[in-house]
């Protein structure tokens, strides 16, 4: 299955988002999807362009609203595999309310955040993921706000799948996206995806020096929610791998429909012209 299309990404050379694009394409193929079974819904930001770079259904939405659109797509046609994607500003600033509620709703979609700890598209301002003291045009004296820890928030909100990876580790990232797609519920995958143009602090080398791969920690148990939260707090969220998974909780659409009805997108309208006209008239 080829999830590549002919659109040439206009990301800067070296941007971490290239690897995320490749990982989504590989993971989709590895789990046996066809392009017509996949929808990629994105928000606004450099990373938001990704929906146009994958051979699948795609929608480049509005700022911070990838998740409401993606949830609508899934509820209308749960036969589709739905991936939502965007940047840390998109998902953890303007879109944070949607992120928290999608997490606790546990709709069966995969949310991939390209976390470069800055706003890249608007040429380098401090984001909720920027470190304290981080200097940009919007914080010339250094950021005085605390850095948001979205994965701690996710676990506190009842997340059933929380993972983190690094765009340089294509093998791990692809595997985590495959696991996220196969998870029956909401999966959040945060990806350290360096912005080589505007973030000169959180570089590839900086991540390589600071990341701890959970695979190297003997005895780590990704089914233990308290252990996951503790490890995030202990490490300043600098861990990669599958951090937490709960396979017991049912997905939202499973509870709503009980899988007894056809997805809305497959149901016949079965309306006469008169009934259709009456329905439309209600919205005039």
Instruction: Tell me which residues touch ligand SF4 (CB under 6 A).
Output: 11-12, 15, 17, 46, 116, 120-121, 195-198
**Checking DSSP bridges between strand 81-87 and strand 110-115, what pairing results, if any?**
parallel
Judged by CB, which is closer to ligand SF4: 46, or 163?
Answer: 46
**Shortest distance, CB of residue 121 to ligand SF4, whole angstroms?**
6
Judged by CB, which is closer to ligand SF4: 66, or 155?
Answer: 66
Judged by CB, which is closer to ligand SF4: 29, or 196?
Answer: 196
**Shortest distance, CB of residue 150 to ligand SF4, whole angstroms?**
18
**Shortest distance, CB of residue 64 to ligand SF4, whole angstroms?**
17
Judged by CB, which is closer to ligand SF4: 139, or 197?
Answer: 197
**Shortest distance, CB of residue 136 to ligand SF4, whole angstroms?**
13
**Shortest distance, CB of residue 196 to ligand SF4, whole angstroms?**
5
H or E element that contains 87: strand 81-87
Judged by CB, which is closer to ligand SF4: 43, or 120?
Answer: 120
**Shortest distance, CB of residue 126 to ligand SF4, whole angstroms?**
14
């Amino acid at each position: 299955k080829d999830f590549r299309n002919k659109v040439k990404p206009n990301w800067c050379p070296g941007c971490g988002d290239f690897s995320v694009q490749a990982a989504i394409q590989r993971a989709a193929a590895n789990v046996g999807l066809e392009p017509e079974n996949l929808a990629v819904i994105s928000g606004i930001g450099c990373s938001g362009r990704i929906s146009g770079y994958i051979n699948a259904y795609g929608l480049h939405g509005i700022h911070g609203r990838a998740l409401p659109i993606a949830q609508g797509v899934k509820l209308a046609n749960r036969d589709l595999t739905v991936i939502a994607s965007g940047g840390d500003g998109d998902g953890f600033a303007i879109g944070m309310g949607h992120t928290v509620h999608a997490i606790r709703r546990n709709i069966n979609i995969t949310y991939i955040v390209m976390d470069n700890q800055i706003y890249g598209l608007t040429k380098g301002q401090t984001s909720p993921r920027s470190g304290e003291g981080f200097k940009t045009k919007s914080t010339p004296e250094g950021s005085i706000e605390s850095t948001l820890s979205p994965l701690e928030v996710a676990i506190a909100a009842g997340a059933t799948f929380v993972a983190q990876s690094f765009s340089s580790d294509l093998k791990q990232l692809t595997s985590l996206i495959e696991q996220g797609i196969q998870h029956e519920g909401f999966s959040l995958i945060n990806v350290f995806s360096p912005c080589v143009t505007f973030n000169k602090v959180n570089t590839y080398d900086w991540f390589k020096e600071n990341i701890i791969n959970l695979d190297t920690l003997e005895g780590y148990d990704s089914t233990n929610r308290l252990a996951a939260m503790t490890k995030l707090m202990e490490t300043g969220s600098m861990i990669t791998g599958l951090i937490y998974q709960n396979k017991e909780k049912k997905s939202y659409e499973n509870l709503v429909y009980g899988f007894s009805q056809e997805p809305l997108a497959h149901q016949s309208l079965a309306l006469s012209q008169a009934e259709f006209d009456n329905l439309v008239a209600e919205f005039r």
